[in-house]
Structure 1
Amino acid sequence: MNKKKTSLLPKNFLFRLTFINIFIVSIFIALSSWAVYNTACFLVDSMGTMTGTNQTKFNKTLYYYLWIFSLIAMITGSIAHFYLTKRLIHPLKRLIESTKSMKKGNYPEPIEVTSSDEIGQLTSNFNGLAHQLKKNHEQRQKLVMDLSHEVRTPLANLNGYLYALKNGVIEGDPALYESLYQESERLTKMITQLETLKEWDYISEQSFFEKEMAPIGKLLHETVKMFEWQLKEKQIAVEIDAEDADLLVDKEGVLQAISNLTENAIRFYSGEGIISIKGERLANEYYIAITGPSYPITEKEGEKLFERFYRVDPSRSRDTGGSGLGLSITKEIIEQHKGDIGWKTDEAKNTFWFTLPLETACTSR
């Protein structure tokens, strides 16, 4: 029963609106006709050019034609108002049909916006809302699928070893505990990165976010210091060649982007040579490139580099491949800063680079 009432809403609204308009217009037409009639009769009578019989005949004739013209105006105006109003509120009917479709869990196609008035703005906003809800739904589905795939293996390993330890099938030793601890650490890091990715997903939908002036050269040196112990342990040398420039950025976000790419260069380091970090001020942007010896990345692999949960190494092992979220986070951060990000392979070296616009930047002094 409620469904029937909802489907009749546009029609009932159109009839109510037309009735109210006809009622008001009819009153004003009747009052205007009455005023015209009395004024005309008074003026003719005051001229004194008519006899009583002719005056009475004139009054009746005028009264008759005023009623005819008034009725014609009411009927014509009502018909014109009905069809014009019907055309005007037609988008509302489509909006109602689309909202009913969304209520059933479907995501309708965008409604064509044919005007810039209030109804046009409402339609445009509804299209944006439907698109965002569809996007959020798809992201949630993909995230759940990715999480179930990524978490299943480490949890199965942990549960298997813990069950075996519990039942005395195996005995614990430092090496086993270290392995279990690292598996737990990977899960913890994955959850932390997912929280970071969710935060940047949210920021990407906002029209602005907090920025501050930051010396990009200093940020590059600070990032390398964070990996100092790993570099010493693996005996990897790092060379930094960066021009000084102050950029208006989210400092923590840019630090994380540089850190993610530096960690990648260390994690996948193979062969000989140094890790090179370059910062260069170009005409309209600041260019940062991190290059390190590693196995070549094919064009096919490169197409998926910045996808969530994709690992760069050929075996896609969790031991060397990380969580597969670092590059996705970096991409979100750089794109939110209106910059570009990419990669290139040169023989036995891979370079990951990104740019930050200089529109709101000034050279350091």
Structure 2
Amino acid sequence: MRKWIQSLFPNGFLWRLSILNIVVVASAIILSGLAVYNTACFLVDAMGNLNESQQRQFNAILFNYLLIFSVITIVGGSLLHFYLTRKLIKPVRSLIVSAKQLKKGEYPEFVEVTTRDEMGELVSHFNGLIKQLKANDEHRQKLISDLSHELRTPLTNLNGYLQSLERGDIEGSQELYTALHQESKRLTSMMEQLDQLKEWDYAASRNYVQYIETDMAGLIKQCTAMFSWRQEQENIPISVEADACSISVHVDGIQQVISNLLENALNYHSGKEPINIRGEWRGSVYYVSVGGLSEFIPDEEANNIFKRFYRLDDSRNRTTGGTGLGLAIASEIVGSHGGRIGLTSDGSYNTFWFELPL
């Protein structure tokens, strides 16, 4: 009997709990039956309408009926309890099986949600955990693949030139050393930006990032002033208009966002029109935009351009030294503030913008 029950309830705690419940219910039925039996016998005896033989016969018949009803109730209740308990613990058994698969490094199928109570909520959270783990694993694999792709070409170039210099196949020159140094700097910059992405990935999952009440107009003008030397060297005019508005932000993070967007605008600026930086208070959000003339960006690229290592074309990679991470970092930081970031194109005039909730 015990082995049969254990086969139905693989978890020892569950089958022991079922046996305990049945024992408790059976004890309550037996005690109630005995109480009813003794009370009925006492009342009939007190009435005095039966002689001693009839009293014994009445007691025996009553006891037999109570015994039959108790057995039927216990057996029926046990079967009903068994059915309901087995149905109740079915999601738990599914969770146990899925958890064992996760422990082995496998991603199980989602557990079916059959109720809307606490058990259904637990199953829903478990399914969400599986989904998040799968997404994180896919994201990690894609990041490793992208990083491997990005590092392969510059490292191959560096190794090729250095080996040729070592063997004496080519002679070093100022131009070659400068090119190798620039490639080395680009790799270092990529590693630094990857560290920034890692930090903001971590910060996005925490709620204790330090936010400070900051005037956005002053912050925008401060970030723009950092590019004044480059602006003068490349003779690119910059126009700044910002509404004063104090909001709670991570100062270093928002500075990074504005700087990345402005640097991106300077890198790909074309024509003689100024780069326009705007800061506007729009109801429940503060809107910041950096717009200017550059090459045409198709509408279908508006979302892809914020992905890590994404570029519109491969030529941008070597000519500008870009890593394809600047806009991804900006998107990560804005997202951690609960805001939005995007791109609006009007022909060759592209405007990168982001919104921060007030």
TM-score (norm 1): 0.89
Q: Distance in 2 between matches of 1:128 and 1:87?
A: 23
More deviation, 49-58/315-324: 315-324
SS at match of 1:21: helix
- Once the two structures are superposed, what CA deviation does each residue of 1:89-144 show, in whole Å capped at 9, x if it has no partner? 11112223323443454423433333343322321221121111101100111011
- Once the two structures are superposed, what CA deviation does each residue of 1:254-307 show, in whole Å capped at 9, x if it has no partner? 111111100101111222121111111112221111112212212344342111
Match in the other structure for 1:117: 117
Match in the other structure for 1:363: none
Residues 223 and 259, structure 1, Cα contact 8 Å, conserved in 2: yes
Q: Distance in 2 between matches of 1:8 and 1:181?
A: 70
| Structure 1: gaps of 5 or more residues | 1-5, 359-365
Among all aligned residue pairs of Structure 1 and Structure 2, give the percentage whose two residues are the same amino acid. Answer: 50
Match in the other structure for 2:40: 40
Once the two structures are TM-superposed, the CA of residue 8 in structure 1 deviates from its matched residue by 6.7
1:57 aligned to 2:57?
A: yes
TM-score (norm 2): 0.91
Match in the other structure for 1:170: 170
Q: Distance in 2 between matches of 1:300 and 1:45?
A: 95
Residues 1-365 of structure 1: pairs in structure 2 closer than 5 A: 10=10, 15-206=15-206, 209-312=209-312, 315-320=315-320, 322-358=322-358
More deviation, 43-52/249-258: 43-52
Residues 311 and 321, structure 1, Cα contact 8 Å, conserved in 2: no
Once the two structures are TM-superposed, the CA of residue 240 in structure 1 deviates from its matched residue by 0.7
Q: Distance in 2 between matches of 1:166 and 1:285?
A: 58
Q: Distance in 2 between matches of 1:118 and 1:348?
A: 55
Match in the other structure for 1:362: none
Q: Distance in 2 between matches of 1:302 and 1:51?
A: 101
Q: Distance in 1 between matches of 2:36 and 2:217?
A: 85
Q: What amino acid is aligned across from residue 118 of structure 1 in structure 2? A: E
Residues 269 and 292, structure 1, Cα contact 8 Å, conserved in 2: yes
Q: What amino acid is aligned across from residue 77 of structure 1 in structure 2? A: G
Q: What amino acid is aligned across from residue 131 of structure 2 in structure 1? A: H
Change (3 A) 1:207 1:126: farther
More deviation, 109-118/331-340: 109-118
- Once the two structures are superposed, what CA deviation does each residue of 1:14-37 show, in whole Å capped at 9, x if it has no partner? 544332222222222222222222
Change (3 A) 1:7 1:338: farther
SS at match of 1:188: helix
More deviation, 140-149/157-166: 157-166
SS at match of 2:323: coil
More deviation, 75-84/6-15: 6-15
Residues 237 and 274, structure 1, Cα contact 8 Å, conserved in 2: yes
Say how many residue pairs are matched: 353
| Structure 2: gaps of 5 or more residues | 1-5
Residues 213 and 248, structure 2, Cα contact 8 Å, conserved in 1: yes
Residues 286 and 355, structure 2, Cα contact 8 Å, conserved in 1: yes
